[in-house]
Amino acid sequence: MTLRRRDFLHLSAGAAALPALSRFARADTYPSRSGRIIVGFPPGTSSDICARLIGQWLSEKLGQQFVVENKTGAGTNIAAEAVVQASPDGYTLLWVTQTNAINATLYKSLKFNFIKDIEPVAGVITVPTVMMVNPAVPAKTVAEFIAYAKANPGKINMSSPGIGSANHILGELFNMMAGIKMVHVPYKGSQFPDLISGRVQVTFNPLPSSLGFIKNGKLRALGVTSATRQAVLPDVPAIGETVKGYEGNAWFGIGAPKKTPKDIVDKLNSTINASLTDPVFKKKLEDLGGVPMSVTPAAFTKFINDETEKWAKVVAFSGAKVE
């Protein structure tokens, strides 16, 4: 059969349009079933609290359930690996945090490359961390704490959820800039029972899961790690007011397996960004002490790359290593 030139051109144009039509159809039908947000931290943590808020928003706006699944262990690497190995179809998402950026340097033998194997989808929130001490510690200010630490070298224990956690690295940044040496005590379970009992004296912990301990007087806040004071703790100074240049926030976002289709990434990004401008949802994040982080996938990619480079220097200073 011989095709006339006009028929051939019609067929060619139709074939060229198929990929674009396929992308639009995929974006229109996604999601057609429930999805998961894999969180590398236990229930009740700041990550878990915020991830459940986003999961609820996605469920309401996209018409399918997005459930939070907590996969703890190996400093969040088990969760990250589960998402790296998942199908790149938008139904398995990773709750991306500062810990993932830290782990990229801290771990020498990971089965994946966080930068290369995870597709940044959307930022959600930046969360100041708060420096808290057991009330038995005599220091009432950051300056008094530094003086106390210098007078008692090797006697102050700093707890964290694990080697390389954001809590740990923010504490090491404080060591580096304040010229002191706290003894790091990593925990596999909750650090708070020992903090409250006084077995360990200090921690750097994200604000959302710290507020309760501060307000009930079980722990004393000395400073926040953000550049400025926080509205939820107006009387607590920024650490940078004493240690010039000190700043470091925890941050949370959403990632997906690499090669997740761009139209799905864009749909998730726009849906999440809409939550960050919604007055009711935004208020929930602000009540947790967080600042909404509305960015494009490209901007979130650059942010993650910059954070990975920044914390690599602190990891090197700390000497922390995990195989």
Could you report the per-residue pLDDT of 196-218, keeping only the tens digit for each? 999 999 999 988 889 999 999 99
- The confidence score (pLDDT) of residue 46 equals 83
Q: Is the pLDDT of residue 4 over 80?
A: no
Residue 5: pLDDT over 80:
no
Residue with tokens 């954001």: 166
Write the single-letter amino acid at 99: T
Domains annotated on the chain, with CATH:
27-127+249-318 (3.40.190.150), 129-241 (3.40.190.10)
- % residues pLDDT > 90 (the chain): 74
User: 148 near 138, Cβ under 8 Å?
Assistant: yes
For residue 317, the model assigns a pLDDT of 86
Q: What is the mean pLDDT of the chain?
A: 90
Query: What gap in Å lies between CA 116 and CA 85, rounded to an integer?
Result: 13
For every residue of 5-67, DSSP letters joined together read HHHHHHHHHHHHHHHHHHHHHHHHH--SS-EEEEESS-TTSHHHHHHHHHHHHHHHHHSS-EE
Tokens of 303: 């942010």
CA gap 311, 97 in Å, rounded? 13
Which of 24-28, 108-112, 192-196, 270-274 shows the lowest per-residue confidence on average (mean pLDDT)? 24-28
Model-level pTM?
0.79
- Written as six digits, the tokens of 135 are 């009330």
Q: Residues 149-155: contacts with CB within 8 Å, 24+ apart?
A: 149/178, 149/180, 149/181, 149/182, 150/179, 150/180, 153/180, 153/181, 154/181, 154/183, 155/183
pLDDT exceeds 50 at position 8: no
Lowest mean pLDDT among 87-91, 120-124, 156-160, 306-310: 306-310
Residue 75 confidence (pLDDT):
84
What does DSSP say about strands 220-224 and 129-133: parallel, antiparallel, or unpaired?
antiparallel
Distance CA(167)–CA(189), nearest Å, equals: 14
When pLDDT is averaged across residues 235-254 and rounded to a whole number, the result is: 95
Statement: residue 158 has pLDDT above 80: yes
Number of H helices, E strands in the chain: 12, 11
Taking 80 as the threshold, does the pLDDT of residue 92 lie above it? yes
Most confident of 27-36, 57-66, 243-252: 57-66
pLDDT band at 185 (very low <50, low <70, confident <90, very high): very high
Highest mean pLDDT among 14-18, 96-100, 198-202, 283-287: 198-202
Task: Write the single-letter amino acid at 229.
Answer: R
- CA dist 112 to 83, 85, 167, Å? 10, 9, 23
pLDDT surpassing 70 at residue 39: yes
Q: Which of 113, 85, 112, 82 has the alpha carbon at shortest distance from 95?
A: 82
What's the pLDDT score for residue 288? Answer: 80
Which has the minimum average pLDDT: 8-22, 114-128, 179-193, 284-298?
A: 8-22
Residues 57-82: tens digit of each pLDDT: 999 999 999 999 999 988 899 999 99
